[in-house]
Structures are given as structure tokens and as C-alpha cells.
């Protein structure tokens, strides 16, 4: 079963699931269900600060 959502949305759901359960052992299973790779998930996590900085800059530019 693959979710019809962007990879970013899938990664966000996976992060919330692993935080809620407090268990990263199901990460492989969640990535498989979502149709994404673990490597992609970890890359997405690593880039989170850069995404947040970009969003903050976009907001600042609009003001």
C-alpha cells in the first residue's frame, strides 16, 4: 500500500510515528509501507534545519 502524498509528507508522518511510539525499530517497515527509502528519510531529517531556514527567509522576504 503506497500513500498518495509527497515524499516530504510521508517522511513527516514517519517521524511522528517513530516519535509517538518511541521506537525506531519499525522505521524500515514504515518506509516500506510509504514507498520511500530509509536513506531518503535520513537525508530529509538531516536537511530539516536548512528547510526551516529557507522557510523563515521566505517569510522575511514577503514582509
Rounded average pLDDT per 10-residue block, the chain, 63 residues: 78 87 77 93 91 84 87
Q: Which of these, 54, 1, 51, 59, lies nearest to 31 by C-alpha position? A: 1
User: Where do runs of H (alpha helix) occur along 1-63?
Assistant: 7-21, 27-34, 38-46, 48-62
Q: Residue 30 in contact with residue 3, Cβ under 8 Å?
A: no
The domain limits of the chain are 7-62
Q: What pLDDT is stored for residue 2 in this prediction?
A: 55
Q: Residue 28 in contact with residue 38, Cβ under 8 Å?
A: yes
Q: What pLDDT is stored for residue 3 in this prediction?
A: 64
Q: What pLDDT is stored for residue 1 in this prediction?
A: 46
Q: What angle do CA 33, 34, 39 make, to 5 degrees?
A: 105
> In terms of pTM, does the model score above 0.85?
no
Amino acid at each position: 500500500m503506497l500513500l498518495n502524498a509527497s515524499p516530504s509528507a510521508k517522511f513527516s508522518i514517519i517521524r511522528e510515528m517513530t516519535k509517538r511510539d518511541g521506537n525506531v525499530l519499525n522505521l524500515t517497515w514504515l518506509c516500506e509501507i510509504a514507498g520511500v527509502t530509509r536513506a531518503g528519510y535520513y537525508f530529509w531529517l538531516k536537511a530539516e534545519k536548512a528547510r526551516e531556514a529557507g522557510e523563515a527567509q521566505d517569510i522575511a522576504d514577503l514582509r
